[in-house]
Structure 1
């Protein structure tokens, strides 16, 4: 680069919703943060040449491939960013790591525990040669949630007792919304459980610093078939009630109770049928000395209750997480000028680039993502067994 900073040359697979979000982050991270490596949008891959070429032009990529394998053969690419459906993650990630490329892989890590274990083994082998892999649980990088974790680490909440976690959307509430890959178990692995439930599972474990060790669950599919076709490739969209219909093979909603390895208990819910909720992520943690509460609909705020204060002044405190003292915020706007959804992806790039340059394992690692995968599998197993308790090992 002109300033002498070495480059981190990126090849990305996929170019839809997540591809656009990741592209924005790769383009902008070094413009707001001082990075030891400057990301370069070297190549983007997709099977449809016309579509991927248009995406490259729109999103700022330098070149195009129609086969992701070509990215691995190129010596001008250092990292592979995987933004494709879950059924493709193992093959791409393992091959990339074996080719000596760093990997950023979208969540959930895979469609099964066995696949996630193979990916984790490959990541651990690669790490011995300073080739690193990270899973994209992006909400960890929301400043308010990073602050919540800091409060737990500092002991402000005391002994953790309760966790409540919800991820609520409504884009499938219309029974005529068309059938897409997200509703096909062979491609997506699961429905609301893996697509959005994985996020709150990861957040709950990360914020509290504790793993889920057992659970009892229920899942449900409200609409069992949907119109085939339509141009919806991600979220939203409306089909026709007269169109040919195909089966929905994933869950629409999942709920479970859980026990953590620190002795606390949790309640979890994930649904794409919460009419009126577009992208609601709620996390509340209660401890012996205090509590935190977060809602992504107010993503620049964290509620904090200090139970050690005098009774006459106790109450939840609304912290506006936009001060330079808060995680990541000093590199953005003046205090009070909020951040948005896209900033979490930029922070993810910042942390990943810095860790790669330092030779440090980025987090969440594939080991972290494997733990989430085991929880997802336990939820499905528990639901299949009619709410039998599942132990996670």
Structure 2
């Protein structure tokens, strides 16, 4: 059910932002909607998600109404802080958003449009498990204004899917992609590499399957073993092996090379797109530090320099909104040093890079050494940008540490 929430300062009952934190209308605004429902809990997952047996008083069939109540509250908060802005991106994540009736997703999107507006040409994404997408679902979402489906493929190899506790069959991915294409939706496929027992040949087979489906966008994430998950317990008992760092590095180089040869370009350490337009503009909003409001239990928001987060359980979330109050559990106002550190950490993960002028004197002094070590691109640094090389992407934490120590 996810990691513990941060400890922060209390949030007023009406959710108002602190004095002096007014909206900058020149900064773009995004909306994230967390749908915390899953049929089963995958063994590696540490997200704030719940199966039907874990809901304890929450009503999945009333969830859209709960989120719509928070959307209305957000509109009032933003009015007091200087005004609303149309959403340039909207993202329904989870959990499994497509476990809800597509009409409920459409209602929540309509609520966002009514409260804030949705900018012309906005990117609107829905995450989906492959076995929850058919023509009816895809067509309903497209008619509601969804533009993009992000499909949790994870692997094309049955034994890897079993280790991850994924419930779909490999062939379900092609069915979901075809339905999305018929509805006119862009398609992103999400992969995980480094699963215990997964070989380099298994990983090659998954990449081959992705390329055969011709998506617009691919995400590939190294498996991280989170404390408290079922997979962590299996590793602790010796049932499966811990992921191998060297094998994961080989897998990253393989996917980067294969995708590059097929016409994809990396734009963030774990993300590749066929065109600039196919990049996930919603995730870029996070990496660039713009404003977003996260709706739903456990969702995090960043508005006008303030970060706040909602209570985690769907029942507590619904109860607070039913009582007319904010579902926020706490908030924080990062200081300049924290913001600088985060900017370096995030901007050195994306192809757009970080402006050298954003670095401290010590950070600028480290640039030459990073070029010599083959971790950042020399020509880009001469032009004033810090952009990681392939080796630098594999050692992203080393790059960030050198630039911030």
> TM-score, structure 1 length as denominator?
0.29
Provide the TM-score with structure 2 as the length reference. Answer: 0.28
Please state which structure has a larger fraction of its residues in strand.
Answer: 1
Bigger fraction of residues in helix: 2
Report 1 or 2 for greater relative contact order, CA contacts < 8 Å, sequence distance ≥ 6. Answer: 1
